[in-house]
Chain A
Amino acid sequence: MEVKVTNENNKTCIKISGRLDTTTAPQFQEVIKPLMEGEKADIEIDCSEMDYTSSLGLRSFLMLQKSVNAKGGSLVLTGMQPNVREVFDITGFSQIIKIQ
């Protein structure tokens, strides 16, 4: 898995490539940790090259959404692949995280 973080016009853009699984979820958690600890943030996560997520990956997305809601920022996931989208749908995460 690869995670790239860039800042554009006060928006934090994250691109995840590869598999978000037991091995790599802790790495993603490290990337989002400063965002959760920092001030209000607008975050866009490009999921177009994310092939897979396990429940550990979902856990990170939920933690990030909780943090964003608490601070009044925004979080949007874009370009999600159908298989991954199904995982978000089954777990109800499509209802609590904005997916475009």
Chain B
Amino acid sequence: MLIRFEPITERCAEIVEQLMSATEMPQDDELLFRIRLCVEEAVENIVSYAYKRGDGWLEAETERIDGSLVVTLRDAGTPFNPLDIPDPDITLSAEERQIGGLGIFLCKQMMDSVRYEYKDGCNALSMSIRIETNN
């Protein structure tokens, strides 16, 4: 399923809900929890930071490929690879921990793979998680 959202300002919750209702989504509640969390983190980053000057668009694609669900988010905002953000040091104390920087870390930990590419003037973030166990 491919959906294009424009404008996107303050529409994170609505975009997440539409994506989570895609026919490619699994039935399993635990998988859905993980997918929702990662989709929300990734969409929130785009809605909040991709377009520095005014509003823009976000294209979301959900596919089933070889037993995995692949969610790809594209935007034409400022080129930005979220995978360049250093992982938080999870061994630090509460006082030392910085507020924020957890979103993309959660995606990397909870999905099987997270890939980024900048192509044809667009950021593209693809997240994949295995949802079928019988092949």
Contacts and interface: CB of A to CB of B under 8 A. Distances in A.
Contact of B94 (A21, A52, A59, A96): A96
Instruction: Summarize A's interface: helix, strand, loop or mixed.
Output: helix
Contacts of B12: 22-23
Nearest to A56: B44
A34 interface: no
- Indicate the size class of the contact surface on chain B: 20 to 34
Interface in B87-109: 88, 90-95, 97, 99-100, 102-103, 105-106, 109
Nearest to A23: B13
A90 B97 contact: no
B30 interface: yes
B93 A87 contact: no
B129 to A, nearest CB: 14
Interface in A79-100: 83, 87, 90-92, 95-97
29 contacts: A22-B44, A23-B13, A52-B33, A52-B37, A54-B37, A54-B41, A54-B44, A55-B100, A55-B102, A55-B103, A58-B102, A59-B99, A59-B102, A62-B94, A62-B99, A65-B94, A66-B95, A87-B37, A90-B90, A90-B106, A90-B110, A91-B90, A91-B106, A92-B90, A92-B91, A95-B90, A96-B92, A96-B93, A96-B97
Interface of A: 21-23, 52, 54-56, 58-59, 62-63, 65-66, 69, 83, 87, 90-92, 95-97
